[in-house]
């Protein structure tokens, strides 16, 4: 039995905000942003679009791809949705605070009435956590065959747009993969191994402080702005470089692979400097990492599935290719997957 990625999809808002656009309202410029982060632009959702809307579009794209691959042109996305056993959605920016889960909203709009649904909160590592959760839940019950794993974020709603150190980093988007349990040998196809880790001592490094039970809004509060992301940049940088190198080493050890056998490393798209530093420590050339943060910036839990879909639709993934994902984020969390395409 193998659990394989059958199809991919993504949703990117049409509004593109370049560094030059930001420079019109902030004391910054394109050269500074690109040299410090590798980011050139980000995409911003309009006011009527929520996290579930982007997630739904990415899910539909993945199901449509699966239908095309099957050659069953008469089959609809609604039919495909009925084959799903679960929907797992990683996000830090859900439609609603606390409940209902954004995954349940997607389940309803997609018409996936046979699927259970839940959100995962693991920051930018949310997709990696979600992928391993789905693999375990598919493997545990023989009758479960298919899962949608989605990363979706509307980070632009939770940014202080006057803070030039943080607002330049983030963008909106969603990515999805369709997982399917098959009779193939697990060493030849599918998810080979996963590392999941957490370090709660760094919880303050990336935090949306207001609005939860620790700092709840009270009756009579004059709420003038939503909770915003607070970031200890140096703390996140140090953690990220360390976690990327350690995750790569642990994934290779767990799967008995060498780095030369890995066709692509798909990292969380946070900052080019982080990945360059991690690569230098391990002697891995930067071109081994697939990067698209120049166009999309940091889309948190959506960044890895967006990159997977871009590679997949671009014809850059071939059957049997070994792919490594590596993520790190709020929590603090970290992890990665080894996937045989």
- Contact indicator for 164, 28 with CB cutoff of 8 Å: yes
Same domain, yes or no: 215 and 335: yes
Residue 239 has a pLDDT of 95
- The domain of 218 spans 190-340
pLDDT of residue 178: 98
The residue with greater pLDDT, 112 or 223, is: 112
pLDDT at 146: 97
Percent over 70 (pLDDT), the chain: 97
Given a cut of 70, whether residue 297 has pLDDT beyond it is: yes
Q: Verify that 292 and 253 share a domain, yes or no.
A: yes
Region for residue 229 given its phi and psi (left: phi exceeds 0; alpha: psi -120 to 50; beta: otherwise): beta
In this structure, the answer to whether residues 147 and 234 fall within a common structural domain is no
Name the residues annotated as catalytic.
Answer: 124, 268, 298
Q: What is the mean pLDDT of residues 215-226?
A: 72
- Alpha-helical runs (H) found in 143-290: 233-255, 272-282
Quick one: residue 237, left, alpha or beta (phi over 0 = left, psi -120 to 50 = alpha)?
A: alpha
Verify that 44 and 121 share a domain, yes or no.
yes
164 confidence band (pLDDT: 50, 70, 90): confident
Token digits of residue 211: 């609005």
What mean pLDDT comes out for the span 165-190? 89
Residues 128 and 15 in one domain: yes
- Does the pLDDT at position 86 exceed 90? yes
The pLDDT, as a whole number, for residue 98 is: 87
The pLDDT tens digits for 66-75 are: 998 876 555 8
CATH number at residue 200: 3.40.47.10
Over residues 313-337, the pLDDT tens digits come to 999 999 999 999 999 999 999 999 9
The pLDDT of residue 106 is 98
Separation of alpha carbons 249 and 313, rounded Å = 29
Structure confidence at residue 1 (pLDDT): 84
- pLDDT class for 134, splitting at 50, 70, 90? very high
How sure is the predictor about 215, in pLDDT bands with cuts at 50, 70 and 90?
confident
Closest CA to 281 of 233, 333, 334, 241: 241
Q: What is the mean pLDDT of residues 6-12?
A: 97
Q: Which of 120, 166, 179, 138 minimizes the C-alpha distance to 302?
A: 120
Q: What does the pLDDT look like over 14-39, one tens digit per residue?
A: 999 999 999 999 989 999 999 999 99
pLDDT by residue (tens digit) across 274-296? 999 999 999 999 889 999 999 99
Q: For residue 219, what pLDDT is reported?
A: 76
Indicate if 292 and 322 belong to the same structural domain: yes
The mean pLDDT of the chain is 93
- Kindly state whether residues 87 and 225 are assigned to the same domain: no
Task: Please check whether residues 204 and 87 belong to one and the same domain.
Answer: no
**pLDDT (mean) for 195-222:** 87
Domain boundary among 123, 147, 182: 182
E strands, the chain, where? 2-11, 15-18, 41-44, 86-90, 116-120, 146-154, 172-182, 190-198, 206-208, 229-231, 264-267, 322-329, 333-340
Q: What does the alpha-carbon distance between residue 81 and residue 63 come to, in Å, rounded to a whole number?
A: 7
Instruction: State whether 87 and 114 are in the same domain.
Output: yes
Give me the number of domains the chain comprises: 2
pLDDT at 174: 98
For residue range 33-69, list pLDDT tens digits in order: 999 999 999 999 999 999 999 999 999 999 999 998 8
Which of the listed residues 143, 161, 182 is the one where a domain comes to its end? 182
Q: In 3D, which of 191, 83, 60 has the Cα closest to residue 146?
A: 83
């Amino acid at each position: 039995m193998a659990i394989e990625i059958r199809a991919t999809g993504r949703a990117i808002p049409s509004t593109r905000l370049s560094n030059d656009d930001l420079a019109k309202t902030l004391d910054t410029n394109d050269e500074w942003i690109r040299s410090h982060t590798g980011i050139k632009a980000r995409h911003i959702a309009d006011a009527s679009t929520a996290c579930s809307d982007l997630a739904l579009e990415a899910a539909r794209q993945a199901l449509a791809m699966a239908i095309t691959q099957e050659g069953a042109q008469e089959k609809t996305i609604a039919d495909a949705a009925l084959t799903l056993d679960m929907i797992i959605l990683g996000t830090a920016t859900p439609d609603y605070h606390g409940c209902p889960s954004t995954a349940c909203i997607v389940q309803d709009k997609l018409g996936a009435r046979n699927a259970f649904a839940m959100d995962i909160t693991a920051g930018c590592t949310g997709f990696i956590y979600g992928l391993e959760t789905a693999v375990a839940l598919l493997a545990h019950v023989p009758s479960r065959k298919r899962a949608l794993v989605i990363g979706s974020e509307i980070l632009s709603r939770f940014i202080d747009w006057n803070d030039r150190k943080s607002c330049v980093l983030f963008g909106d988007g969603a990515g999805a993969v369709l997982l399917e349990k098959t009779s193939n040998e697990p060493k030849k196809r599918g998810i080979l191994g996963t590392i999941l880790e957490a370090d709660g001592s760094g919880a303050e490094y990336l935090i949306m402080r207001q609005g939860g039970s620790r700092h709840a809004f009270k009756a009579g509060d004059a709420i003038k702005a939503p909770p915003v992301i607070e970031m200890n940049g140096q703390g996140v940088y140090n953690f990220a470089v360390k976690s990327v190198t350690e995750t790569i080493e642990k994934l290779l050890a767990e799967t008995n692979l060498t780095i030369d056998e890995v066709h692509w490393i798909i990292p969380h798209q946070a900052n080019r400097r982080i990945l360059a530093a991690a690569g230098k420590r391990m002697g891995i050339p930067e071109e081994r990492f697939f990067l698209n943060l120049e166009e999309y910036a940091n889309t948190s839990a959506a960044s890895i599935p967006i990159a997977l879909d871009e590679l997949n639709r671009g014809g850059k993934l071939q059957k049997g290719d070994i792919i490594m994902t590596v993520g790190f984020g709020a929590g603090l969390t970290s992890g990665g997957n080894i996937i045989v395409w």
